[in-house]
Amino acid sequence: MSFLRSLFSGVSGMKNHQIMMDVIGNNISNINTVGFKYGRATFSEMFAQTLRGATSPTATNGGSNPVQVGLGMNINTLDTLFSQGSIETTGQSTDLAIRGSGFFAVNRNGETLYTRMGTFQFDADGRLVHPGTGGILQGRLADASGNIPPGTQLEDLKIAVDQKSPAKATTRVKFSGNLDASATMANIALNGTLDPTATPGTQVNVTSTVTDSFGQTHDVVLRFTNASANTWDVTTVSATGATVAGGTATATFDPVTGRLVSFTGAVPVTLTSTLNPPAPAMTIDLRGVNLTQRAGASSVTGTFNRSADPVNTSVSVFDSLGNRHAITLTFTKTPTANVWTWSATVPAPASISGGGSGTITFNPDGTLASFAYAGGATSLGIDPGTGASPLSIAIDAGAPGVLSGITQNQGTSNIAARDQDGYGVGSLSNVSIDQTGNIVGAFSNGQVLTLGRVMLAEFNNPGGLMRMGENMYQISGNSGTPATLAPGESTQSVIEAGALEQSNVDLADEFTKMIMAQRGFQSNARVITTSDEFLQEVVNLKR
């Protein structure tokens, strides 16, 4: 009889159930370890001793099975199981959790290690690191345009906190709103009498003081010249500080009643200020004409009425150096149906270099028909006066025939700049990481730029990785070579920023396994004590 087999079987069972308990204890101790993956011990039967071999069947006798006795058990595997742990939100923007397979790659003292622990922070040099280990997170850095270069070569993710977003000169401004279709023009109402007995060539000057959109006052002189009996020609005369343009109008009277029969011609009068600062061009209609012809001294007055102010709107644009310039656009209704004029002004040191005025024409249904620049220009030109490159700005008033952009309908005039594509120099104000691993910088000028990308490493056999402590893993001969993948693109795994992956240990499962390990240990201990009693009985045979 051999009782040593059962003794050694019991010893192997106790020893290996103790290892099982060690694994369980390690799992439970790491129940709150970020990114921890639990271990599992599996057993296999040790080599069996053959007492009798198997025999093959014959024509007269059946075969027999082998007779073997097991010699105990061994540890088969100690596995690391990489099932998904729960994701806990932390609010720390540089905390990262992987939802799916894969590992973060970190560079520690020149060696690349792999981890699921995403507790990263920026160090003094702007690198994303594990603050506890100093491991530098690996990924790909973007170029100056925010593009990730092709390839899978990993590098330290280093973000310069003092980097700037360069300025961009404005090239387009989009306006929208409504111009009141019922708006009336600024006008001069003429009242008084003209002497029908005046000799041809007699002149009567009428001075009217008008106020431009900047609040400056100007004298507009209208000159009545007797052309013939019952007919007077009306012209405009230049006044100090302003240029007044207008053709010749003709006032015709009834020779019997002296009443005005017609007033045609120089409508409207255009006033262009030459003072400093210059106001936009102003169109003045000659309306409210209440003239009569009566013998005696001529006496005519002109009263200025600003019944409808020009529509003004301002927008800030940027030059190539990031300097801000305010452009004011003024829209003024003309006597021509559905036609308005527009003009642009900028404060010093900037100046308009071309295309600073024009017309805007509407269709009868109020939609835009055309937006034109004076002098054949195709854009609004501005000399910034700051050493920056000249600006060429396209004014977008909307699409012709579409009820969008600038329209002309009944109602209050309200024009505003909705968008412009320029911006000044910006400093980095915030850094965030999206689900695809892109590290996105937000700048004070409102621009966002991709600064880099966190890449993930995936293995054919993650269970083959070597544990290196501190939640780090190292490549082994059976793990395979890592594949560097972009989250959310070349792999289904994504990154959750502001969150951490918790341990995947199931406490209830571990307690159940603990009971199994304890009972297995006790049972194997019982095998040893029972075998010892057998041996004791053998010893007692000599008595």
With H, G, I as helix, E, B as strand and everything else as coil, classify residue 245.
strand
Instruction: Give the separation between CA 120 and CA 103, rounded to whole angstroms.
Output: 14
- Looking at residue 279, its pLDDT comes to 58
Residue owning tokens 């300097």? 323
Rounded to 5°, the CA angle 299-304-307 comes to 145
Q: What is the pTM of this model?
A: 0.69
Q: What's the sign of the alpha-carbon dihedral 120, 483, 81, 87? A: positive
Tens-binned pLDDT, residue by residue, of the chain (543 aa):
455 778 878 888 899 999 999 999 999 999 999 999 999 999 988 877 777 888 888 888 888 888 777 777 889 999 999 999 999 999 999 999 999 999 999 999 999 999 999 999 999 999 999 998 999 999 999 998 899 998 888 999 999 988 999 999 999 999 999 999 887 766 777 888 888 888 898 888 888 887 766 667 777 888 888 988 889 888 887 665 556 677 778 888 888 888 888 888 755 666 666 555 555 566 677 765 788 888 877 887 777 766 556 789 999 999 999 999 999 999 988 878 899 989 999 999 999 999 999 999 999 999 999 999 988 899 999 999 999 999 999 999 999 999 889 999 988 899 999 999 999 999 999 999 999 999 999 999 999 999 999 999 999 999 999 999 999 999 999 999 999 999 998 789 999 999 999 999 999 999 999 999 999 999 888 888 887 778 787 778 876
| The pLDDT of residue 275 | 54
Is residue 472 within 8 Å of 106, Cβ to Cβ? yes
Give the pLDDT of residue 445.
93
Q: What is residue 491's predicted lDDT score, i.e. its pLDDT?
A: 86
CA distance 127 to 252: 87
What structural domains does the chain harbor?
Answer: 4-81+504-542 (no CATH), 87-166+428-501 (no CATH), 172-181+310-420 (2.60.98.20), 186-305 (2.60.98.20)
Mapped onto helix, strand or coil, the DSSP state of residue 145 is coil
Task: Classify burial at 2, counting beta carbons within 10 Å of its beta carbon; exposed 0-12, middle 13-18, buried 19 or more.
Answer: exposed
**CA–CA separation, 502 vs 419, rounded Å?**
45
Question: Which tokens is 111 given?
Answer: 């060696």
Distance CA 444, CA 424 (A): 9
Distance CA(136)–CA(105), nearest Å, equals 8
> Residue 276's pLDDT is what?
54
Determine which helix (DSSP H) or strand (DSSP E) holds 5, and give its type and residue range. Answer: helix 4-29
Note the pLDDT of residue 271: 66
User: How many CB atoms are located within 10 Å of the residue 51 CB?
Assistant: 9
Tell me, what's the pLDDT at 141? 95
Picking from 14, 74, 85, the residue whose alpha carbon sits closest to that of residue 42 is 74
Question: What pLDDT sits at residue 529?
Answer: 86
3-state SS, residue 541: helix
